[in-house]
Amino acid sequence: MNRPVPFSTGRSCDPVRHDLDDVMQKVAHGDKQAFSTLYDALAPMVSGIVVKVVRDRAQSEEVAQEVMIDLWRQAARYRPDAGSVTTWAATIAHRRAVDRVRSAQAATDREHAQAAREHTTAFDEVAEQVETRLESEQVRRCLQGLTELQHQAVTLAYYRGLTYREVAEALRAPLPTIKTRMRDGLIRLRDCMGVTT
C-alpha cells in the first residue's frame, strides 16, 4: 500500500503535483495500479472534506466513495493547467457533498410536506364527518317539529324520491293537500335549520 501524499501547495515546481499529474494521466488511460496510488493519495483529503459538509459518517463514506469513482471515470477530463489534482479532487468532493446535503434536505422537506398534507386531509375528513352528522341530527330534530302529514310527505318525497302524485297516492290524500303540506313543511324546516333564501 502506498503512503498518502501530502496536500499539494499547487506550485508548479512541487514534485508531488508533478507526480499526481503523471498518476492522473495513467488513470485517464485506465491504469488500475495508478488509480490505487491516486486513491491512497487523495482518499483521506476527500473524506475529510465530505465529512465536514455532510456530517453523517455513513453518508460521508458513501459520498467519498462516489467521489473516488468520479475521479476514476472523469480522469480524462482533468487539465493540469486548470489546477492541481488535489484541487480538482477537492472541488469534486465539495460539490458532491453539497449535492448530498441538498438532496437529503429536499427529501426531508418532501416528507414533511406529505405528512402535513396527510394530516390536513385526515383533519378535513373528520371535520366533514362531524359536520354531516350534526346536520343530520339537526334535520331529524327539525322534522320532529312538523305535523304528522308534513313529516310523512317530506320524508317520502326527499328520502324515498317520490313525486307529489306518488306521495298523494301513498298517503291517500288529495294532491293539492299534499302540495300545501309539503310547502308548509319545507318552510318550517328552512326556518328551523336557519337557512336564508
Count of Cβ atoms closer than 10 Å to residue 185 Cβ: 23
Helix axes 32-54, 15-28, angle to 10 degrees: 110
Inter-axis angle of helices 57-73 and 85-144, to 10 degrees? 130
User: pTM for this one?
Assistant: 0.52
Q: Would you write out the chain's pLDDT as a tens digit for each of its 197 residues?
A: 444 444 444 444 455 565 899 999 999 999 999 999 999 999 999 999 999 999 988 999 999 999 999 999 999 999 988 889 999 999 999 999 999 999 989 888 888 888 777 765 555 666 677 677 777 788 888 888 888 888 888 888 888 888 889 989 998 999 999 899 888 888 888 888 877 65
By the 10 Å C-beta count (0-12 exposed, 13-18 middle, 19+ buried), 129 is classed as: exposed
52 near 100, Cβ under 8 Å? no
